[in-house]
């Protein structure tokens, strides 16, 4: 009787392991390379962004690079009548695939900033300050494949990716994460803190990207 119970237990355990293994194999778009481009950057920030990702059965890896971004001034930057330009925002991500389409990623990033008077041409001569910030954050991504059920592998690769991220500043090249300068509008010495990369000078970022995943599902 004990042998029968032991055999039944072992059989059940093996079946559970096999089921888990099979479920992991069931994830679509595994071992695939994708390239997507952000829509928010050209539409709202007058710049661009490109991201390359690679998936395994359960992991996802990415490298993204934004360039020539012009976020609207907010907070003290707006009050002091200055504008920001981001020559580049770059970094990588490593994440876990919850299912075939949803994943969560850990993302260290580097951001380059330039500060100018609002009406000044953005040249090195007119630059008030340049500095870099470093962020650590997380992102939740949902990748949608509108033609995943198509018989054509070419159509199966059409990809969109919607993401919401929290990129927290953890350091900068500024002393005490702030700088002072002579403001032309107020005629006074003003102080500004290192900017945040997200919406309204916060760590929150939202984006929608479109692109292609090679090799079908």
First and final CA of the chain: distance in angstroms? 47
* 111-149 confidence digits (pLDDT tens): 999 999 998 999 999 999 999 999 999 999 999 999 999
pLDDT score of 146: 97
Residue listed under structure tokens 């990207």: 209
pLDDT score of 26: 75
Residue 163 lies in a domain: yes
Residue 84 lies in a domain: yes
* 29-61 confidence digits (pLDDT tens): 999 999 999 999 999 999 999 999 999 999 999
Q: Which residues fall within 8 angstroms of residue 150, CB to CB, at 6 or more apart?
A: 156
Q: What are φ and ψ of residue 196, in 5° steps? A: -95, 150
Q: Which residues fall within 8 angstroms of residue 131, CB to CB, at 6 or more apart?
A: 112, 113, 172, 173, 174, 179, 194
Q: Is the pLDDT of residue 19 over 70?
A: no
Q: Is the pLDDT of residue 17 over 50?
A: no
Q: Is the pLDDT of residue 107 over 90?
A: yes
Q: How many domains does the chain have?
A: 1
Residue 4 lies in a domain: no
In 10 A of CB 161, how many CB atoms? 23
The DSSP H or E segment spanning 15 is helix 2-25
pLDDT score of 18: 46
**What CATH number has the domain bearing residue 91?**
2.40.160.20
* 181-192 confidence digits (pLDDT tens): 999 988 999 999
Q: Domain range for residue 64?
A: 29-214
Task: For residue 13, give Cα distances in angstroms to 23, 82, 89.
Answer: 15, 64, 48
In 10 A of CB 184, how many CB atoms? 14
Residue 1 lies in a domain: no
pLDDT score of 31: 97
Q: Which residues fall within 8 angstroms of residue 25, CB to CB, at 6 or more apart?
A: 57
Classify 215 in phi/psi space as left (phi over 0), alpha (psi -120 to 50) or beta.
left
Q: Is the pLDDT of residue 8 over 90?
A: no
pLDDT > 90 in the chain, percent: 86
Residue 24 lies in a domain: no
pLDDT score of 1: 46
Residue 185 lies in a domain: yes
Alpha carbons 11 and 198: distance in angstroms, whole number: 52
pLDDT score of 24: 54
Q: Are 27 and 58 in contact (CB under 8 A)?
A: yes
Residue 201 lies in a domain: yes
Residue 188 lies in a domain: yes
């Amino acid at each position: 009787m004990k042998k029968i119970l032991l055999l039944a237990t072992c059989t059940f355990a093996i079946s559970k392991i096999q089921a888990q293994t099979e479920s992991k194999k069931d994830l679509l778009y595994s071992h695939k390379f994708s390239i997507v481009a952000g829509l928010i950057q050209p539409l709202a920030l007058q710049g661009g962004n490109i991201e390359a990702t690679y998936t395994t059965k359960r992991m996802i890896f990415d490298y993204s690079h934004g360039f020539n971004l012009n976020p609207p001034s907010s907070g003290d930057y707006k009050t002091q009548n200055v504008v920001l330009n981001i020559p580049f925002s770059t970094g990588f991500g490593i994440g876990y695939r919850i299912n075939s389409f949803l994943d969560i990623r850990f993302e260290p990033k580097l951001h380059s900033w330039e500060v100018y008077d609002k009406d000044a041409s953005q040249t090195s001569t007119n630059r008030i300050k340049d500095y870099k910030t470093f962020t650590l954050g997380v992102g939740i991504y949902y990748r949608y494949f509108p033609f995943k059920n198509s018989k054509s592998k070419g159509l199966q690769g059409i990809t969109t990716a919607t993401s919401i991220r929290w990129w927290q500043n953890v350091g900068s090249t500024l002393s005490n994460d702030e700088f002072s300068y002579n403001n032309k509008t107020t005629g006074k010495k003003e102080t500004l803190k290192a900017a945040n990369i997200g919406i309204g000078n916060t760590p929150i970022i939202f984006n929608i990207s479109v692109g292609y995943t090679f090799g079908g599902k």
